[in-house]
Amino acid sequence: VRGSLTGDSRSVRRQTARLRNGLDYFVFFAGRHRHIRKMVSGEDTPSTISVARLLETARVNEDYKIFLKMDIEGWETPALRGALGSIERFRPAMLVEINDRHLMRSGSRPEDIWAMLTPLGYGAQRLSTGEPVEGYAGEDDYLWTVRA
């Protein structure tokens, strides 16, 4: 690691935390995990990649167990909408941050996510409580899995 930590003690703590988190990140992805570092969106653009293209690029097939994490500050609905075909095909488990105030940025509501995923056989549980929910139960991360 090159460079030095500079600034006041608060700044040094932030820089140290950033470095430690960065190292943890690289240690996690140093194994057999496939990592593509690009923003994921509902469609392909020069700076983003769609979930469908992401799975294609990673050469994923139906035998893989896939976990998607989405925390994209209100743009979860468009990303999910763009990924519906891939979600139907691969049936990934998904951890999706759902915050009604953030979703307003993209013109969507929490109910839109339930309307997309429940017809595909998905159920949600609120991560903070571990309880299954049938609809939006407040700002939280929701774990979506295919119901048996």
Q: Which of the pair, 77 or 23, is modelled with greater confidence?
A: 77
Cα 21 to Cα 12, 14, 17: the distances in Å are 14, 10, 6
pLDDT score at 89? 84
Which tokens go with 86?
């891939």
Give the range among 50-54, 60-64, 81-85, 114-118 with minimum mean pLDDT.
Answer: 60-64
Q: How far is CA 17 from the centre of its chain?
A: 22
- Give per-residue pLDDT as tens, 76-94: 998 888 888 888 888 888 8
Q: Based on DSSP, count helices (H) and strands (E) in the chain, helices before strands.
A: 5, 7
Give the amino acid at 55.
L
User: Among 32-36, 90-94, 129-133, which stretch is predicted with the lowest mean pLDDT?
Assistant: 32-36
Length of the chain equals 148
**DSSP E strand stretches across the chain:** 39-41, 48-50, 67-70, 93-98, 122-126, 132-133, 140-146
